Amino acid sequence: MLSGSFVATVTPFKDGVLDEKTFRNLLDRQMEAGTTGVVPCGTTGESATLSYEEHKHLIELTVGHVKGKMKVIAGAGSNCTSEAIELARHAEGSGADAVLVITPYYNKPTQKGMILHFEAVAKSITIPLVVYNVPGRTGVSIDVDTLAELNKIPNITAIKEASGSVDRVSAVLGKTSLTVLSGDDSLTFPMMMVGAKGVISVTANVVPKLVAQMVDAALKGDVETGRKIHHQLFGLSSKLFLETNPLPAKAALAKMGLIQNELRLPLCPMSSDKFKILEDELVKMKLV
């Protein structure tokens, strides 16, 4: 079972190309903080702007660098099923522990189409597949009954749930045996209180140790400690979504001196007024 604190890592760029040295440093920082696993080439990693060569290279680099010290859930999503299969097979061949596959965006498939999509990708590999439900970005939501059908496929084992609803987590857990991982940082602790087993986190880019400690406390049933850290993190988690992810996360990491604040179009650095709000939170948390 995939459980714990997983970081949806940013992809650092320098002068338009992958900044591999900085990326390795970010991975080292996560390992030192006790992060369970890393999720490269997801939305936070600007996967939509990566070439397939860059995407595959980044997965290989991640697996090779962590050397089993963290689990690797490789982003392998696409709104084209054959492309998702290609990325998933490459991830498995590279040594990834699992793949994260988003609901197909823009073409807005029916529930039957989503079943066929996830089934085709899952059957092309043997490692676990984590379904990613994020209707705010994709324009579609995978129904709980659809998840119950997908749950019959042996290696579809988990869902990253980013619908913003604790009720939805309860419904999924009531109808399936899927492991639920939070996809909404501000809701991670509440979701875990109804049965989620961890998070694929944006906030962990900035404060990996705190996120790992909160998740660990929740998994151990230490509600008081988990709640305390949840409230400590809540302001930052909210402000990391003042603008489109990963704009604030990259701005925060740049302010902390960990990366250059470089994104690929059509993404661009966050506006100065919103950044000031984020900066104030970083100062408040003594991160800068």
- Which residue in the list 132, 197, 250, 255 is annotated as catalytic? 132
Query: Is 69 an active-site residue?
Result: no
Q: How many CB atoms lie within 10 A of CB 61?
A: 17
Q: Cα(20)–Cα(154) distance, rounded to whole angstroms? A: 35
Annotated active-site residue 160? The verdict is yes
Superfamily of chain region 4-221 = Aldolase class I (3.20.20.70)
pLDDT at position 262: 98
What pLDDT, in 10s, does the model give residues 230-259? 999 999 999 999 999 999 999 999 999 999
pLDDT in tens, 32-50: 999 999 999 999 999 999 9
Q: What is the DSSP letter of 221?
A: T
C-alpha closest to that of 3 among 182, 227, 207:
182
- Residue 111 — pLDDT band, cuts 50, 70, 90? very high
Q: What pLDDT, on a 0 to 100 scale, did the predictor assign at position 179?
A: 98
The answer to whether 243 and 271 are in contact (CB under 8 A) is yes
For residue 227, what pLDDT is reported?
98
Give residue 1's pLDDT: 78
pTM, two decimals, is 0.96
Q: Note the pLDDT tens digit of each residue in 260-280.
A: 999 999 999 999 999 999 999
At which residue do the structure tokens 């694929």 appear?
Answer: 200
CB 30 within 8 A of CB 209: no
Residue-level pLDDT at 175: 97
Domain residue limits, the chain: 4-221
User: From the candidates 14, 56, 160, 197, which is the catalytic residue?
Assistant: 160
